[in-house]
Copies of this chain bind each other. A is one copy, B any other.
Amino acid sequence: MALIVHKYGGTSMGSTERIRNVARRVAKWHAAGHQIVVVPSAMSGETNRLLGLAREITDRPDPRELDMIASTGEQVAVGLLALALAAEGIPARSYAGWQVAVRTDSAYTKARIEGIDHKRVTRDLDAGKVVVITGFQGVDDEGHITTLGRGGSDTSAVAIAAALKAAECLIYTDVDGVYTTDPRIVPEARRLKVVSFEEMLEMASLGSKILQIRSVEFAGKYRVPTRVLSSLTDPLMPLDEEMRSGTLITFEEDEHMEQAVISGIAFNRDEAKITILGVPDRPGIAYQILGPIADANIDVDMIIQNQAVGGTTDFSFTVHRSEFKKALEVIDAEVKGKIGAREIGSDEKVCKVSAVGIGMRSHVGIASLMFRTLSEEGINIQMISTSEIKISVIIDDKYMELAVRALHKAFDLEHAG
């Protein structure tokens, strides 16, 4: 008998029939003697519907009120799932984040979890109940409702698993695991049975979109064994088979038996690039450029600054395409004149493609194989950035699919390592 946290995404909760399927699956786990906490997302489309109503009223919504509105989607979901569980004969009880309580800071629409009081949940579990907790939300010190941002239910699930010291956190979603790259682009893409925490972190931040990045950070910080698996399988499939499906995120390198040099090709298609040319080479210049960007609440992805030549250097960074115009305005208004830059260059249509793999640490030649492959396809590399376990390049948006396919083949990812 173990304590297991299940998380179901919006698609898995997309209709009352699907909610009944979730209940059947949870009932199977409960019947096998496990203690189960379920964290469902809002029914698919619901959060967008709610935010759409808010947008019909005002362009500049107060984030506190947005959280009041958006948090209701998950509250409906937990209530419906508790009803469906009861209909399966399973005693169940739902809680909103504030009832647990899931305590967060007061950064409305992007709050961070600070702690989870789990007494109430533990009491219900010990009484044989399945506990259903809203994802995506919590409550601040003043008793205001907060939300964690898009995909926040993953983070809720992992944080709850950490607080309860759960044996495993199962993230049920509409894909059956983490792949070597997006199968819609490379049909030969292969599901990874195991992926290291560090790789998953890179994959998530690079746009694999399977798990919210903060949930992976949480899983790493508290070493929560986390498995990504499909909610579209038969809910009554044998339990041992289900426990071997999907992709397990591990923290032990020796579990990483099938490790190839490269685990996958990740990409992010919605990037935009801003380059500040002729930046004076003096201390504090990077902060002078990125400080105003951070103050405007714009997330920066890649940052590149090369060795100065002749007292000046060029400074580049990428942002999400939706924040490109705003970022450019900030640079024009608050940075350009102040630091005495020569010129601002920009490209709204770039993408990032990355090769990710723990094996890279001990292998030379990965970078050169990557660059050679892109060169053979005639793809110009605009920016390069590397970490211990990944190499990322910024290229023209239109070459993205080509680059991903070519790299997937070059690293022989269609065959198990």
Residues of A within 8 A of B (CB): 16, 19-20, 50, 53-54, 56-58, 60-62, 64-66, 68-69, 71-72, 75-76, 78-80, 82-84, 86-87, 93-94, 96, 98-99, 143-145
- In the docked arrangement, what's the CA distance between A66 and B144, Å? 23
What residues of chain B lie closer than 8 Å to A69, measured between beta carbons?
75-76, 79-80
A86-B72 in contact (CB<8A)? no
Q: Is the CB of B72 within 8 A of A57?
A: no
Residue of B53, B61, B87, B99 near A57 (CB, 8 A) is B87
CB <8 Å contact, B83 and A62: yes
For A144, give the chain B residue with the smallest CB separation. B99
Within the complex, which residue of B16, B53, B65, B80 is in contact with A94, where a contact is CB–CB below 8 Å? B65
Among candidates B16, B65, B75, B143, residue contacting A83 with C-beta atoms closer than 8 Å: B65
Q: With both chains docked as a complex, state the minimum distance between the C-beta of A364 and any C-beta of chain B, in angstroms.
A: 55
Q: Do A16 and B80 touch across chains, with their CB atoms under 8 A apart?
A: no
Task: From known contacts A72-B72, A86-B62, A94-B68, infer whether A16 and B57 are also in contact, taking CB-CB under 8 Å.
Answer: yes
A315 to B290 alpha-carbon distance, docked (Å): 83
A82 touches B58 (CB 8 A): no
* 7 tightest Cβ-Cβ pairs between the two chains A and B: A69-B79, A68-B79, A72-B72, A16-B56, A58-B87, A65-B82, A65-B79
Say yes or no: B57 contacts A84, CB within 8 Å: yes
Given contacts A99-B143, A143-B99, contact A66 B79 (CB under 8 A): yes
Chain B proximity of A96: nearest CB distance (Å): 7
Contact B68 A78 (CB under 8 A): yes
Given known contacts A62-B86, A72-B72, A86-B62, A80 and B57 CB-to-CB distance under 8 angstroms: yes
Residues of B within 8 Å of A93, CB to CB, are 64
Q: Are the C-beta atoms of A54 and B83 separated by less than 8 Å?
A: yes
Contacts of A66 in B (CB 8 A): 79, 83
- Cross-chain contact A80 with B54 (CB below 8 angstroms): yes
Which B residues are in CB contact (< 8 Å) with A79? 54, 65-66, 68-69
Please tell me which one of the listed residues B58, B60, B87, B96 contacts residue A68 in the complex, with CB atoms under 8 A apart: B96
Q: How far is the CA of A56 from the CA of B60 in the complex (A)?
A: 37
- On whether A58 and B72 interact (CB within 8 A), knowing A66-B79, A99-B143, the answer reads no
| Cα of A56 to Cα of B76 in the assembled complex, Å | 13
Residue in B50, B64, B86, B144 whose beta carbon sits within 8 Å of that of A65 in the complex: B86
Question: Are A75 and B68 in contact, CB atoms less than 8 angstroms apart?
Answer: yes
Known contacts A80-B53, A143-B99, A86 near B68 by CB under 8 Å? no
Judging by beta carbons under 8 Å apart, are A86 and B98 in contact? Answer: no
Q: Choose one: B76, B82, B145; the contact of A53 (CB below 8 Å).
A: B76
A150 to B353 alpha-carbon distance, docked (Å) = 55
Contacts of A96 in B (CB 8 A): 68, 145
Task: List B contacts of A65 (CB < 8 A).
Answer: 79-80, 82-83, 86, 94
Closest to A87 in B: B58
Across the two chains, which residue of chain B brings its CB closest to A68? B79
A50 proximity list for chain B (CB < 8 A): 76
B56 close to A82 (CB less than 8 A)? no
Complex contact B53–A16 (CB within 8 A): yes
> Cβ of B72 and Cβ of A75 under 8 Å apart?
yes
Q: Quick check: B54 and A68 within 8 Å, CB to CB?
A: no
Between A and B, 9 residue pairs with Cβ closer than 8 Å are A16-B56, A53-B80, A58-B83, A62-B83, A65-B94, A69-B76, A72-B72, A99-B143, A99-B144
Measured CA separation A293–B53 after assembly (Å): 44
Given contacts A68-B94, A69-B75, contact A83 B99 (CB under 8 A): no
Q: Kindly list chain B residues whose C-beta atoms are within 8 Å of the C-beta of A145.
A: 96
Please, which residues of chain B bring their CB within 8 A of the CB of A68?
75-76, 78-79, 82, 94, 96
Most chain B Cβ neighbours within 10 Å, of A60, A82, A84:
A82
In the complex, chain B residues whose CB is within 8 Å of the CB of A82: 62, 65, 68
Residue of B nearest to A70 (CB): B79
